[in-house]
Amino acid sequence: MTIARRMAQWASALRYQQLPVKTVHEVKRRVIDSIATTLGAYHSHPAKIVREKAMSVSDPKAKATVWGTSHRTLPELAAFANGAMVRYLDYNDTYLSLEPAHPSDNLSAAVAVTQQTGKTGRDLILATVIGYEIQCRLCDAASLRAGGWDHVTYGALSSATLAAKLWDLSEDQMEHALGLAGVCNITTRQTRTGQISDWKACAFSNAARNGVFAADLARRGLTGPNELFEGPKGLMKQLNILGVKNLILGRDGDFMIDKTYIKYWPAEYHSQSAIDACLQLRPKLAGKKIQSININSFEAAVSIIGSEPEKLRPTSRETADHSMFYCCAAALVDGDVTLATFDEHRLTDPKLLDLIDRTKIIEDPKLNEGYPEGIPNDIAISCADGTKLNKRVDFPRGHAKNPMTDEEVVAKFHRMAQGVVSDKSAATILDHSWNLDKLTDVTPLFTFDITEG
C-alpha cells in the first residue's frame, strides 16, 4: 500500500461523529481567527489584486464565493484569493515541528469546495480537521526547510485531500488526486528569504488552488502518478523526506488542530516569545537608555528571522514581520506589536533602527533542545546606567501550552473587524461561526458587507 493510499483510506473513513467536542470547538475558533486576519488584510494591495483575479472569472455553475462579496467563481480561484487574504498579515495560526506551517491556510480550500458541493457546516468542520491533520502530520514526519524547500509543498497535499473528501471521491480517486497535487507543486523557500515580497501571502493559497484543481481533475476521472512518495523519483527521495514513511494519522480523538497555536501578535511565529519577553521587560526600562540587546535563540528562529542582512533594514512589511530585530525593537519602543507597527513610515523610524543596531541574535545549542516543543527566546538587555535585565519565554500567549481564551480570540476578531465591517456584520459573523455545526449553508458566513477602504 502506498503512503498516498494510506492517507486516502484514513480520510475516506473519517466521519464527523468521530470528532471530539473540543476539536469541533477549535475549528470554530480557527474560522473566527481566519476571518479576522482576512478583514485586517482586506484593503491591502495584495488582497485587492487577488480578489480582482478571482472576480475576473464567472461561471454559472460556480458556487464558491470571494469572501466579503457575493461574486461566485471557480473553487480553485476562490481558494487562492481567500487564502491569500487569510495569510497576508502573517497573523493566522501556526504549527511548529520538524517543518513549520500555518495550517489555517487550508481553510480557504475547505470553504470553497464546501460551497461548490452544497455541503454543510459539519462537512466544512470535518474537511478542516482533515486538512490540519495531513499537513501537520507531514510536518512531524520530515523537514522540508532543511533542504531549501517550502512548507507549502505539504499544503498541496492537505488541500487536495480535504477537497477530495468534500467531493466524495473514492479511495482510488483520492490517491490519484494526491498524485496530481504532489508531483507538480514542489516549491522553494526563496519565498521567505532575503527581502520578502507580496508572494509570501500567496504561496500556500497557490498550493491550495492547485490542490483543489487536482481533486477536481481526479473527480472527473484523470489519473495521477503512482507512488508519489516512495517511487524512484518520488518526494521521499527527491526532497530527502524519508521520515514520511512513518506517517501516523489521527485516531481515537487525537487530532492535530488541537495542538496548533493562534497568534497573539501579527509577526512570524518564532518571534512571538521574543516579543513577549521584551514586553515583560519594558516597564523596568522606564527612563533608562538601552546600551545593548542580546537575544539567545534557537536555530529555526536565527535562520528564518534573525540572521540575514535584509532583516536589519527591512524595506517591506513582509520582511519586517519576518525580522526578530525589528519586532523586538518595536515591542520595546511602542509597548506592543500591532498592524501599525509595520506601516511603511515605521520601517525607517530612527528609534527602531537605533535599537536594531544595538541588537545581536545568537544561536544557543541549549535553546535548540527546547524546540519545537516550545520557542525559547532569552532576552538580555544592558543599560547605560549599568542595569542588566533578563527574561526567557518558551510558551508565548497563544501557544498550545499557553492558549488564548475564546474571549481573547473574539477580541482579536473585533480589532481586525473595526472599520472594515459594521458592528452588526461582525456580530453576525461571530454568531454563524459559533454555530457552524448547525449551518446547512456556509455561504452567508463568508458574505459580509465591507466598508470602503
pLDDT digits (tens, 9 = 90+) for 322-342: 999 999 999 999 999 999 999
Examine residue 407 and state whether it is found in any structural domain, yes or no: no
How confident is the model over 378-412, as pLDDT tens digits? 999 999 999 999 999 999 999 999 999 999 999 99
Q: Which CATH number characterizes residue 195's domain?
A: 1.10.4100.10
248 in the same domain as 102: yes
274 in the same domain as 246: no
Examine residue 414 and state whether it is found in any structural domain, yes or no: no
325 in the same domain as 307: yes
Radius of gyration over every alpha carbon of the chain, rounded to an integer in angstroms: 21
Residues 98/140, Cβ–Cβ less than 8 Å: yes
What average pLDDT does the chain have? Answer: 97
Look up residue 36 and give its three cell numbers: 479576522
Other Cβ atoms less than 10 A from the Cβ of 29: the count is 21
Please determine, for residue 452, whether its predicted confidence score (pLDDT) is greater than 90: no
Look up residue 249 and give its three cell numbers: 494519522
Q: How far apart are CA 225 and CA 247, in angstroms?
A: 20
141 in the same domain as 114: yes
Look up residue 439 and give its three cell numbers: 449551518
How confident is the model over 67-92, as pLDDT tens digits? 999 999 999 999 999 999 999 999 99
Please determine, for residue 21, whether its predicted confidence score (pLDDT) is greater than 70: yes
The per-residue pLDDT for 407 is 98
The per-residue pLDDT for 96 is 96
Please determine, for residue 453, whether its predicted confidence score (pLDDT) is greater than 80: no
Q: Which CATH number characterizes residue 296's domain?
A: 3.30.1330.120
What domain count does the chain have?
2
Please determine, for residue 266, whether its predicted confidence score (pLDDT) is greater than 70: yes
Prior bond of 372 cis (ω within 30°): yes
360 in the same domain as 291: yes
Length in residues, the chain = 453
Examine residue 334 and state whether it is found in any structural domain, yes or no: yes
335 in the same domain as 254: no
Examine residue 36 and state whether it is found in any structural domain, yes or no: yes
The per-residue pLDDT for 300 is 95
Please determine, for residue 357, whether its predicted confidence score (pLDDT) is greater than 80: yes
- Mean pLDDT on 147-169: 98
Examine residue 212 and state whether it is found in any structural domain, yes or no: yes
Examine residue 254 and state whether it is found in any structural domain, yes or no: yes
Q: Which residue range(s) make up the domain with 75?
A: 3-264+431-446
Examine residue 33 and state whether it is found in any structural domain, yes or no: yes
55 in the same domain as 32: yes
For residue 287, give the nearest of 210, 183, 392, 383 by alpha carbon: 383
128 in the same domain as 17: yes
330 in the same domain as 189: no
How confident is the model over 169-222, as pLDDT tens digits? 999 999 999 999 999 999 999 999 999 999 999 999 999 999 999 999 999 999
The per-residue pLDDT for 418 is 96
Determine what percent of the chain is predicted with pLDDT higher than 90: 97
107 in the same domain as 9: yes
Q: How far apart are CA 117 and CA 224, in angstroms?
A: 22
Please determine, for residue 250, whether its predicted confidence score (pLDDT) is greater than 90: no
273 in the same domain as 251: no
Count of CA atoms in the C-beta half-sphere (13 A) of 369:
3
The per-residue pLDDT for 310 is 95
Examine residue 89 and state whether it is found in any structural domain, yes or no: yes
152 in the same domain as 213: yes
- pLDDT tier at 445, thresholds 50, 70, 90: very high
How confident is the model over 42-69, as pLDDT tens digits? 999 999 999 999 999 998 899 999 999 9
pTM of the model: 0.96
Please determine, for residue 277, whether its predicted confidence score (pLDDT) is greater than 70: yes
Helix 75-87 to helix 199-219 angle, to the nearest 10 degrees? 150
